[in-house]
Structure 1
C-alpha cells in the first residue's frame, strides 16, 4: 500500500501536465556600489499571485505557463530595501524603504489590461560622526496602467502610463511600453523575448531574453539603462531558473554595470 502511494506521488510530481491556482515568488538582491556616494543596498521582494482560472502546464516552459495560457490574475507585492552611503567627512546617510503594490492583469480574448498601484515609505537618517542630525519619513505613490493586444497568441504588445508621486517632491508621469514573445524552437526548446520601458523626466528601459533548454531549465540575459537627464547608468545581468518539479523552482542572477556589482537569489512556489 505504501509503495503504491509513493508511486502515485512520484507520478504526480513528474507528470508533464500540472495545474496550479496560486504562486508565491520571493527573492533577495545585494548590490555593491563602487562610487563616492552609495556603498551598498539590499532588497527583499515577496509577491503572491492568485489566478482566476487554473494554469495548465502541459506544453511550453513551466516559467511561461500563465502567459501562454492567457491566465488572468491578481497579485500583491512587497519589497524592503536598505541603502547605505559612504561616509564623507564624517557624514553618512541611511534609508529603509517599504513598498506595497497591488495589481490586476486581465486577458480578454486578444486584448490585455494591466493596472497597478503602490504605496511606499522611506525613513531617511543622516548622521555626522555617528550622531543623528536628521531623521525623516517620505511617502511615495506609484501607479501603472497598460492596454495591450496579442496579434498572435504568444506575442503581447502594450502601452500606457507609469507614474510616481513623491511627498514634497517632483512627480513624474511617463509613457510606458511593454512587449513579450514566447516561441518554440526545435526539440522541445523555447525562447522568450521581452522589453519594458517608461519615458518621462526619467527614462528607463529593459530588454531581456531567455533560452529554455526544456520545460524546466532556462538561461537568459537582460540589459537595463536609466537616464535622468543629467547622466545615464546601465546594467547587464545573466540569469537562470530551474524547476525542481512543476510546483517548485529556484533561480539566480549576477549583474554588473557602471560602478555596481549585484547578486540575486530567488524561489517560486506554486499550489
Structure 2
C-alpha cells in the first residue's frame, strides 16, 4: 500500500516532465516585508490558476516561462489573495483573461479585482498589437473605485520584446508608462530578464514616479529569478527595494505547477 501511494505521488509530480504541452498552471506566492515609518509588518498570500484555451507547446527554443507568449496562447485565470498588516486581514479575488492567437496579431487582456467586505474594486485592461511574433506594443488602462468613493481611470502604454541572442540564450525587455491624472504624476517601469537556456532566468526591474521622465520623486528597484526544476515545476523569488506601495523592502517566493 505504501509503495503504491509513493508511486502515485511520484507520478503526479512527474506528469508532463516528458510532455511538450500543458494547459493549466497553478501558482502559489508568499510575500512579506514592512511598511516604512511604521511598526507594521506585512504578510501576503496569493493563489492563482490559469487555464489556456489550447495546449501550450514547449518544444521550441523559447524559454519555458515565455512559451505562452511566443505561441500566442489565449487564457482565462482566477486569483485569490490575502494580505495581513499586524494581524488585520484583508481578502481579495480577481478574474480575467488574456486574448491572443497565432491566427492574427491582435492582443487584449482584462482583469477585475474585488476586495472582500468593501466596495473597493479595480479593473485593468490592455489592447495591443504584435509588430513581430515576439514584439508586443499596446495601450493600458487602470480603473479603480475606492471604498470611500471617487473613482479614477488612468491611461498609459506598454511594450514587451523577446530577443533571441543566437546562443541558446534569450532576453526579455518590458516597459510601461501610466499617467496618474488626478495626482499630476506618471508611473514609469522598465524591466529585463535574461534566460540562460530554457529553464533559468534572472531579471531586474525599476519603477519610478515623476512629473517628468528623469525627475523621479519615488523609485523602486527589484531583483528576481525563476528556475524550472522540471519542465512542469518552477520556483521563483523576488526582492523589491523601497517599493512604491509601502516605501519599504518587500520579499516574495513562489512555486508554479503546470499540467
TM-score by length of 1: 0.79
How far is the alpha carbon of 1:80 from its aligned partner? 0.9
State how far apart, in whole Å, the 2-side matches of 1:73 and 1:120 are: 23
Structure 1, unpaired ranges of 5+: 1-5, 85-93, 122-136
Structure 1 residue corresponding to 2:143, chosen from 159, 163, 181 = 163
How far is the alpha carbon of 1:12 from its aligned partner? 6.5
**Alignment size in residue pairs:** 235
Conservation of the 8 A alpha-carbon contact between 2:51 and 2:76 = yes
- Partner-residue secondary structure (3-state), 2:249: strand
Conservation of the 8 A alpha-carbon contact between 2:16 and 2:22 = no
How far is the alpha carbon of 1:235 from its aligned partner? 1.5
State how far apart, in whole Å, the 2-side matches of 1:145 and 1:12 are: 32
Q: 1:196 to 1:46 in 2, by over 3 A?
A: farther
TM-score by length of 2: 0.82
Greater alpha carbon shift after TM alignment, 167-176 vs 74-83: 167-176
Q: 1:69 to 1:264 in 2, by over 3 A?
A: same
State how far apart, in whole Å, the 1-side matches of 2:93 and 2:14 are: 38
1:190-220 CA distances to partner (integer Å, 9 max, x unpaired)?
0011123432235433321100111001110
State how far apart, in whole Å, the 2-side matches of 1:218 and 1:50 are: 23
How far is the alpha carbon of 1:11 from its aligned partner? 11
State how far apart, in whole Å, the 2-side matches of 1:65 and 1:22 are: 13
State how far apart, in whole Å, the 2-side matches of 1:171 and 1:12 are: 45
The answer for the alignment partner of 1:120 in structure 2 is 115
The answer to whether structure 1 residue 99 and structure 2 residue 92 are counterparts is: yes
Q: 1:12 to 1:48 in 2, by over 3 A?
A: closer
The answer to whether structure 1 residue 110 and structure 2 residue 105 are counterparts is: yes
The answer for the alignment partner of 1:210 in structure 2 is 193
State how far apart, in whole Å, the 2-side matches of 1:147 and 1:226 are: 23
Conservation of the 8 A alpha-carbon contact between 2:16 and 2:231 = no
Structure 2, unpaired ranges of 5+: 1-9
Question: Which has the larger Rg?
Answer: 1
